[in-house]
Amino acid sequence: MPKVTVIVPAYNAEQTIVAALASVQQQTLRDWEVIVIDDGSCDRTSELLSRIQEPRMQVHRYTNAGVSVARNRGIAHAQGEYLAFLDADDLWSADKLACQVAALEQHPDAGVAYSWTYFMNESATMIHAAPPVWFTGNVYAPLLVRNFLYSGSNALVRRDALELVGGFDATLTHGEDWELFVRLAQVVEFVVVPKPQVFYRQSPTSASAQVVLMEQRLLAVIDSVFAAVPSHLQSLKNQNLANLYQYLAGLHFTQVTSAEDIKQIGQKLQLAVRLHPKILLSRTTQRYFAKWLLMQLFSPDIAKKITHFGASYTIRTQG
């Protein structure tokens, strides 16, 4: 039985799948298996996978069913004591698995280990570290405020903890990782590895780039999650929504081309402040407001050059 099973869902991932799997092969912890779920790819993903010489890798091909189903299919094949998920466009540092396994073995009461995150653009030419977080132990309340793991490529989970909560919600296409983390936080403790080890890619084709659709579906996920939250924690919903609208404003910045886009940014930022006024104390919010004001005075391109913010990769995701 391998120590760790790495599950990689892949859909039309020909541009990134080889690099993602190379970051698994370069792990200093060697006792792992990797299960790739080819979720109905119609590009060269299958061909590229067939060229990789790796005896610890299994490839299973299915008709397209979405990332949550693909991850659950990987779980069904997994043999490892611990399970990790790596999206086909993300990367890990070489010590990611070793450090997270050590953290869980040093904290037997914890069921999930997570690390800090780097954000990177599509070509990995812009990399920026997310603000460090230190939540450990019972992290249920902090997770209700925001997804401080940032992506599904972060967590290492004990198999028995994952079996306890039942895997990913197969109906979700956005926020599915955050929803799972919330359920895990209800029953197990988390432990942090205080170093950036996850490279989270944001690109025009990623789920995070589909702003309007993302807003609709994340609002539905947030409503669903908070429907089961105890009454004394319901006040955290407005903070979560404020973080969501701050995040959506950040995504709009990366895609702004018109006056209407600039208007949308202002609306998202103002809504975030109305929901949770203290978000104005956030440096990210302050920078976004400054950039938004500059965009109303100058063209978006000039405003980007003035502020040097460009496509901000410190945005806080809901999943």
**24-77: per-residue pLDDT in tens?**
999 999 999 999 999 999 999 999 999 999 999 999 999 999 999 999 999 999
Assess whether 214 and 183 both reside in one domain. no
Last residue of a domain, one of 178, 201, 224: 201
In a domain, 56, yes or no: yes
Q: What is the pLDDT of residues 238-283, one digit of tens each?
A: 999 999 999 999 888 877 778 888 899 999 999 999 999 999 999 9
CA-to-CA separations, 155 to 129, 213, 264, 283, in angstroms, rounded: 17, 25, 33, 27
Number of structural domains (the chain) is 2
Assess whether 279 and 248 both reside in one domain. yes
Here the CATH number for the domain that contains residue 98 is 3.90.550.10
How far is 109 from 122, CA to CA, in rounded Å?
37
Q: What is the pLDDT of residues 11-34, one digit of tens each?
A: 999 999 999 999 999 999 999 999
Assess whether 197 and 223 both reside in one domain. no
Q: What is the pLDDT of residues 78-125, one digit of tens each?
A: 999 999 999 999 999 999 999 999 999 999 999 999 999 999 988 888
Res 174: pLDDT: 92
Assess whether 276 and 154 both reside in one domain. no
Does the pLDDT at position 317 exceed 50? no
Last residue of a domain, one of 201, 231, 259: 201
Nearest Cα to 115, choosing from 180, 178, 194?
194
pTM over 0.85: yes
In a domain, 314, yes or no: no
Give the range of the structural domain holding residue 297, as residue numbers without chain letter: 210-307
Res 312: pLDDT: 37
Assess whether 157 and 220 both reside in one domain. no
Assess whether 264 and 180 both reside in one domain. no
How many CB atoms lie under 10 A from the CB of residue 144? 22
In a domain, 257, yes or no: yes
Does the pLDDT at position 202 exceed 90? no
Last residue of a domain, one of 201, 235, 250: 201
Q: What is the mean pLDDT of the chain?
A: 91
Q: What is the pLDDT of residues 142-175, one digit of tens each?
A: 999 999 999 999 999 999 999 999 999 999 989 9
Assess whether 179 and 239 both reside in one domain. no
Rg (CA), the chain: 19
In a domain, 177, yes or no: yes
Assess whether 238 and 271 both reside in one domain. yes
Res 209: pLDDT: 55
